[in-house]
Structure 1
Amino acid sequence: KVYWIADAYTTSDRYPYSQPLLLNGKSVNYVRNSVKVVVDAYNGSVVFYQADAGDPILKTYATIFPGTFRPLSEMPESLVSHLRYPEDIFTLQTAAYSVYHMDDPQIFYNKEDQWEIPAIPSEGEGASRPGAIPPMQPRHIIMKLPGEQKEEYVLMLPFTPRAKDNLSAWMVARNDGESYGKLLVYRFPKDKLVFGPKQIIGRINQDSEISQQISLWSQGGSQVIQGPLLVIPIEESLLYVRPLYLKAEAGKIPELKRVVVAYENKIAMEETLEEGLSKIFGIGAAGKSQQGAATKTPSSNGPPAKDVEERIQRAASAYEEALRAQREGDWTRYGEAIRRLGDILK
Structure 2
Amino acid sequence: MATVAPGGEITLDAYNHRSIGGRHYQEDRAKAIDDLNELIPESTKGDRSIRRALYCVFDGHGGDACSEFLFQNFHKHLLEKENLCEDPKAAIMSTWDECEEQFQSRMTARYDRNAKGFKPKKEGDKPKFPGDGSTATVCLIEGNKVYIASCGDSSAAVIRTNKSLEKFTREHHTVDPEEVARIEAAGGELVQKTIKTPAPFPFCCTKMVDKPLGKPRVYPGGLLVTRAFGDFQAKLPVAGGIPGSIIHTCDPIREVMIEDDWQYFVVASDGIWDGLTDEQVPKVLKQELDDAQDDYGKGDDNKEKVRKRVVKGFVESATDSEFWRKNQCDADNTTAIILFFK
Q: Larger relative contact order (C-alpha < 8 A, sep ≥ 6)?
A: 2
Where on the TM-score scale, by shorter chain, does this alignment land: which range?
under 0.3
Q: State TM-score, norm by structure 2.
A: 0.27
Which protein shows a greater Rg? 1
Q: State TM-score, norm by structure 1.
A: 0.26
